[in-house]
Structure 1
Amino acid sequence: MSGNDYLKFMTEQVVSYLDLPSEERKKRKEAHKQQDSFYATRWLGMLPFTLKIMFQKENSR
């Protein structure tokens, strides 16, 4: 894939995402967040979950 083809593909993806209603974008973001945490815990155990909690506590101080 040449650089121009890749740029065209990425532009199409961004435009199609921006054309979605804001509610649909929010639903996708929530689904993606839930999916990421599931796979991180499933494949790497509790370590990513523990680190996430630690960083959240530090940032809330």
Structure 2
Amino acid sequence: MVDSMSLNDYVKYMTQTVVQHLEKSPQERRTIKELRKTERPAFLFRWFGVIPYALMLFFKRK
């Protein structure tokens, strides 16, 4: 019974999330998407960690 309740809660949460997303206007969704893109860290930092980013900064100074 515990598993069915957690599944039920998950379905309820997902349904609420989808409905909230669909109720937003297309412009509002677009601005949220653009904000997420600008807040995203650099490609090298995201994929390979701090070391390539530190090396890049080190070589830029020279």
Q: TM-score range by the shorter chain?
A: 0.5 to 0.7
Q: C-alpha separation between the residues in 2 aligned to 1:23 and 1:46?
A: 38
Report the CA distance between 1:47 and its aligned residue. Answer: 4.5
CA-atom RMSD, angstroms?
2.8
Partner in structure 2 of residue 9 of structure 1: 13
Shift >2 Å, 4+ stretches: 44-48
TM-score, normalised to structure 2, is 0.57
Task: Tell me the percent identity.
Answer: 37
| Count, aligned residues | 46
TM-score computed with the length of structure 1 as normaliser: 0.58
Instruction: Compare CA radii of gyration and give the structure with the larger one.
Output: 2
